[in-house]
Amino acid sequence: MAENGEEKLIAVARHIARSLGHTDNAITDDILQIFSNFDGRFKEKLTGNLSGNDGGPALDQALKTIDRRVSRYLTVDEPIWSSSADASLFLAGVDELIALIREWSAMADEVAVTSCLDRAEDLLQRCMFRLEEEFKMLIVESAGNTVGGGGGAGGHLDSDSDEVEHDGFDEVDVPVAHPVTDYNIRIDALSSGMIEDLHEIAKRMLAAGYGKECSLAYSTCRRDFINESLSRLGFLGSQNSSGEDNDIEIEKWIKAINMAVRVFYPSEQRLCDRIFGYSSATAAAAGDLSFMDTCRVSTMELLNFANGIAMGSRSPERLFKILDVYEAVKDLLPEFEVLFSGHYCSLLKNEAIAVWKKLDESIRGIFVELENLISRDPVKTTVPGGGLHPITRYVMNYLRAACSRPTLEQVFDDNANRSSSSSSLSVQISWIMEVLERNLESKSRAYRDPALSSVFLMNNGRYIVKKVKDDELGVLVGDDWIRKQTSKVRQHHANYQRNSWHKILNSLKLDNSNLSSNVASKSLKDKLKLFNTQFDEICRTQSAWVIFDDQLREELKISVAGTLLPAYRNFLGRFHNLQDIGRYADKYVKFAIEDIEARIDDLFQATAMAGTGRK
């Protein structure tokens, strides 16, 4: 040991002398002479000419000493960290080796020194390989030992308790987290003691320039923890990409991405910070790289699922699924911003933002597709009885459900703020209503009977107004729009009255001119006969028509009765007063007042068979 210390002291003396006098050999010799005079034992070894290769032997001796101390740890099969004493000695040897390489690198222009440094670098590489193996074993061992232990703040780790056959192969159980509903938890996957050991190894590997290797070792081990934890939540990564965005898979994905971004990743980031630290820019970069590489695969798989939803069909039925995914990504964007703010991690943050924008675009694209769907709906096919058209029911129920999601308004308002032209939700809804109204008007012209055309428009217009009133839709389109639509329904009502009953009322008009008794009698009998025919035909026809709304149906009946009954009573009074008809009047009167009321009450009987139960 004394000899080793002596050799080290000689090496230090030579280095100092050369550093101070590297431009002047005379100065160097003077410095060496001072050292030799200080202790006569070193005179022979120090007074040689430094311009030769005498630095090589000193470095060689120091390197051999370190080699003897660390090599025995490089060949043993058992883990070095199974003994804290061995771990300390090995780390001390690595520290000396790193310091020696740094110290003599300034003299690398000497052939002998260069040869020794090459050997030193080779030894350092072997030490780094061993440290990397120890690093991996510590992570796996420590993670396994904490399974079932406390995770802090309500979080804990657990492994699958089922016995699994491994076909004869030894496998390491990967710890995973139980599903939770409270995201305000922390997972301590590794013990404090192991974290300290990992930190010491990482510090040496970083000092030796093996930061990327250390980061790769970390991420390789820890990545499995994240992936297996997500699989326990039901998310299987690429295996979920079946092309079917069903509700169950989306629900699993939402749970998985929330757990990943709010629990797993923050816990992993804390672990990286504790192992790699921020003692230098190199250490911080290594921690950022380790964290990114650990989370990269799972993050991309989670975002790829959302991206697949965004890139899928823009069928209107998919809106609510896309909104679910959009809301999940949007809610997590602040966490993405904080977690992945580092140099290496920024690509994950940018990918999350890109997916969010694609979902946004997909949602707006669905409304364009809804417009096209309405416009393409065939106008020549009529609904029996002028009832409620399926496209009206579909569109209005769809819009009510869509507008019940506050997120939808945010999507359109955000785009309105980013663009010069307004694209707010209220404008979009009003436009879709206009497209629907034009389509319904085109459909109404397919009816040959103008009165039935009015009934069709009345039915569909009343349905639209009812769906808009007292709903978020009404807030979006405004009271003025509702008043205009209500006025249109009243106009359709008036058109129905005119096209159906005004013609029959004309047959009941009395001629006030002074006609002879025979002529007047014949005229009234002809009018009554015409009325009976027309009334019977209208009632028979309109009993097969549909009025879906109970209130509207009663309003129509009351309106018809209020118009027809007074005119019919007046006509019958005049008819009974004719002298030549007199007691034979009942022979010509087919409908009594009570009969007229009953027939009016039987109008729109097809309503009961029109499936009005669906709202």
For the ranges 74-78, 101-105, 182-186, 492-496, the maximum mean pLDDT occurs at 492-496
Report phi then psi at 579, rounded to 5: -65, -40
d(CA 595, CA 536) in angstroms, rounded, equals 11
Task: Confirm if 68 and 43 have CB atoms less than 8 A apart.
Answer: no
Output the CATH code of domain 192-371. Answer: 1.20.1280.170
* pLDDT greater than 90 at residue 291: yes
d(CA 488, CA 498) in angstroms, rounded, equals 15
d(CA 420, CA 415) in angstroms, rounded, equals 9
192-371 and 503-602 share one fold: yes
Output the pLDDT for position 491.
Answer: 96
d(CA 237, CA 250) in angstroms, rounded, equals 12
Report phi then psi at 489, rounded to 5: -65, -40
Exposure string (b/e) for 66-100, b if CB count within 10 Å is 16 or more?
A: bbebbeebeeeeeebbeeeebbebbbebbebbbeb
| Closest CA relative to residue 51, chosen from 30, 72, 22 | 22
Query: Which residue do the tokens 């670098």 mark?
Result: 121
Specify the CATH number for 503-602; select among 1.20.1280.170, 1.10.10.10, 3.90.380.10, 1.25.40.10.
1.20.1280.170
Place 537 in a pLDDT band, splitting at 50, 70 and 90.
Answer: very high
Residues 379-409 have pLDDT tens digits of: 888 899 999 999 999 999 999 999 999 899 8
Cβ neighbours for 158, distance < 8 A, ≥ 6 positions apart: 147, 148, 175, 176, 177, 178
Looking at the chain, the whole-number percentage of residues with pLDDT higher than 70 is: 76
Residues 332-364 have pLDDT tens digits of: 999 999 999 888 999 999 999 999 999 999 999
Output the pLDDT for position 145.
Answer: 54
Task: Confirm if 545 and 603 have CB atoms less than 8 A apart.
Answer: yes
Tally the C-alpha atoms within 13 A of residue 327's C-alpha that lie toward its C-beta: 16
Report domain extents, the chain: 32-144, 192-371, 372-499, 503-602
Output the pLDDT for position 14.
Answer: 57
Task: Confirm if 229 and 119 have CB atoms less than 8 A apart.
Answer: no
Output the pLDDT for position 348.
Answer: 94
* Cα–Cα separations (whole angstroms), residue 396 to 66, 465, 542: 82, 10, 27
Taken in order 475, 480, 481, 486, the sign of the CA dihedral is positive
d(CA 558, CA 292) in angstroms, rounded, equals 74
- Angle between helix 84-104 and 111-145 (nearest 10): 150
d(CA 14, CA 112) in angstroms, rounded, equals 15
* pLDDT greater than 50 at residue 290: yes
Output the pLDDT for position 472.
Answer: 86
DSSP conformational letter for 176: E
Task: Confirm if 465 and 524 have CB atoms less than 8 A apart.
Answer: no
Residues 409-450 have pLDDT tens digits of: 889 887 765 554 445 888 899 999 999 999 999 999 999 999
